[in-house]
Chain A
């Protein structure tokens, strides 16, 4: 894309999106995809802190086998709110709504997303959904777990299930609008010459993610709405006494919520592709396979939801079918991991902060993915179902995978987003602390789960205490690791050195514009004449 650099005339660096307007109104009514990304960044960061505080209370309670910090009811509400906030208000929007919003138009040579006003609307819908759900805390909380399982949620729970359902229902529309915007943008607004197989894999990953958002989110929105209607009007969809079926809820819920795991991890995989290629100075090995593996994960992800229901009363035959299909999704996931590793082979690897996070991702995602196969195996799952083994597996994918990818993205594109460089030394230290803290937190949970400790209990037998103490100690380290970026990234905003347009010497259209980017990205739409990640040509040019 080096030829395109010259083709795209560069506006004055001062005329960037951050200085294009001042005042609250210029932010709250903006239709600039970059500013909307910043709005999302601020909001999801707040939700991450809130979700983290719930986790702190959970971990403190579990330090001792007795329920001595909070009551069992409060504990139920804590893990429910932790799950709700982290999944619906942090993990799902994290990379798509922040990084995707900011980067997709820049990566494809467009001046904005296809529907800028809908993009802003999605943020407002997200904010309203978030506030509604968070208002639940004021109404005494909700105790169903983030999964809202019926009949407890629809019939028995005395907590604010209805309000929570409305909040999640509203938030779903934000996700749908974002997905719709991405799909149309990627189809219609690619720069001349930017064919599908020249697209950055970050864009491919977001395309696959958007498909899941579009297809799956309406299902969960309607399902949660049905729970609301069941509670308020007793319509009987999930109540056997009225001809309903509680297991039907699980089918509808997991039809979305299993693919939702891929909403959370696929964008992260897109980030890993970008960072691995940049810091290995090589084109991604097997580009086409990595691109199509994203689509394969998106499609196969819709065929395997029943592996969450092996002990629910689902038929054994259905369980066998879902178990077999679950094994299939490991293939495209493994394709990605092997291809990233092959990309690094004989590459000129450098160990900047984003790459440290990539190494963390590769190890943790592999552990999380392989233990997922344990849980997908019909026989073994029966023994570890609803134990800490599941909690550990899930967090290895979501925290070890998705958040590691999010942090890699934040550090990789921070100079582009803010125009400032952060302290590499502090950032590397933070990445290492997070990796250590994460493993100390969640690896003991594999062991205690395998030994039989169920999840969602705040009182437990004495013999499990050592594992819970280790886990809480790890969580403390993890919290310190997460706090670091809040300080050194904020510090960089005020005291950091100005970032050049391309601080990593990376390939991609986003690196051809100044940091931070101008308001309209490109004065003239670039023409793309080379493959993605053509680092060999870049190296020749440098020589």
Chain B
């Protein structure tokens, strides 16, 4: 990997792209684009970090194993976020008692198709 000769112009190109994207991020912040402002800022940031990982950290020129380890980091980050958001987004799914005992009722009726009662 380290033996791979990368032309200097690639580094300059990536550096210029990163600067450009930074300027776009700042510029976009001055416009009211509603709910898009968060995904746009995040999208640019993700793209920039991808460039850094691929070129400045040489992952693009590394072995498949290096790529696997880098991917693993993101997969486990996704696990962290998905499970944490799973908690956050289901906190209003309350336990509701009915005449026959305790049941998890209302929350499961709304779009998830899990059935009315889980005893």
Contacts and interface: CB of A to CB of B under 8 A. Distances in A.
Contact of B76 (A215, A251, A317): A215
A306 B107 contact: no
B93 A251 contact: no
A251 B73 contact: no
Contacts of B79: 302-303
A317 B107 contact: yes
B87 A318 contact: yes
B86 A248 contact: no
A315 interface: yes
Contacts, number: 54
A321 B65 contact: no
A318 B76 contact: no
A253 to B, nearest CB: 11
B93 A317 contact: yes
Interface in B5-43: none
A303 B83 contact: yes
- Chain B contact residues: helix, strand, loop or mixed: helix
B83 A317 contact: no
Interface in B76-119: 76, 79-80, 83-84, 86-91, 93-95, 104, 107, 118
Interface in A164-191: 183, 187
A313 B88 CA distance: 10
Given A215-B72, A215-B76, A318 B86 contact: yes
A142 to B, nearest CB: 26
Contacts of A315: 86-91, 93
Interface in A205-246: 211, 214-216, 219, 245
Contacts of B95: 316
Contacts of B118: 320
Interface residues of B, number: 21
A255 interface: yes
Given A187-B65, A316-B93, A251 B86 contact: no
- Chain A contact residues: helix, strand, loop or mixed: helix
Contacts of B87: 247, 251, 306, 314-315, 318
B60 to A, nearest CB: 20
B90 A317 contact: yes
A215 B104 contact: no
A248 B93 contact: no
A243 to B, nearest CB: 13
Given A316-B104, A317-B107, A318-B86, A255 B91 contact: no
A462 to B, nearest CB: 35
Interface of B: 65, 69, 72-73, 76, 79-80, 83-84, 86-91, 93-95, 104, 107, 118
Given A187-B65, A315-B93, A317-B107, A302 B76 contact: yes
B65 A251 contact: no
Contacts of A214: 69
A361 to B, nearest CB: 29
A252 B89 CA distance: 17
Contact of A317 (B69, B84, B86): B86
Contact of A318 (B65, B73, B90): B90
A211 B87 CA distance: 26
Nearest to A255: B80
Nearest to A187: B65
10 contacts: A211-B72, A215-B73, A245-B88, A251-B80, A302-B76, A314-B87, A314-B91, A316-B94, A317-B107, A321-B83
A237 to B, nearest CB: 13
Interface in A321-337: 321-322
Nearest to A304: B83
B83 A318 contact: yes
Contacts of B88: 245, 315
3 smallest beta-carbon distances between A and B, as pairs: A318-B87, A315-B90, A317-B90
Contact of A248 (B69, B84, B104): B84
Contacts of A302: 76, 79
Contacts of A215: 72-73, 76
Given A305-B83, A320-B118, 11 more contacts: A187-B65, A247-B87, A251-B80, A251-B87, A303-B83, A313-B91, A314-B87, A315-B86, A315-B91, A316-B104, A317-B93
Given A215-B72, A316-B95, A317-B93, A306 B83 contact: yes
B110 to A, nearest CB: 12
B76 A321 contact: no
Nearest to A216: B76
Contact of A251 (B84, B89, B90): B84
A379 B115 CA distance: 20
Contact of A219 (B80, B83, B90, B107): B80
Contacts of B76: 215-216, 302
Nearest to A247: B87
B9 to A, nearest CB: 31
A248 B93 CA distance: 18
B63 to A, nearest CB: 10
Nearest to A312: B87
A9 to B, nearest CB: 32
Contacts of B104: 316-317
A211 B95 CA distance: 38
Contacts of A306: 83, 87
A314 B95 CA distance: 13
A184 to B, nearest CB: 10
Q: Please indicate which of the listed interface residues B65, B72, B80 has the most CB atoms of chain A within 10 Å of its own CB.
A: B80
Nearest to A317: B90
Contacts of A303: 79, 83
Contacts of B94: 316
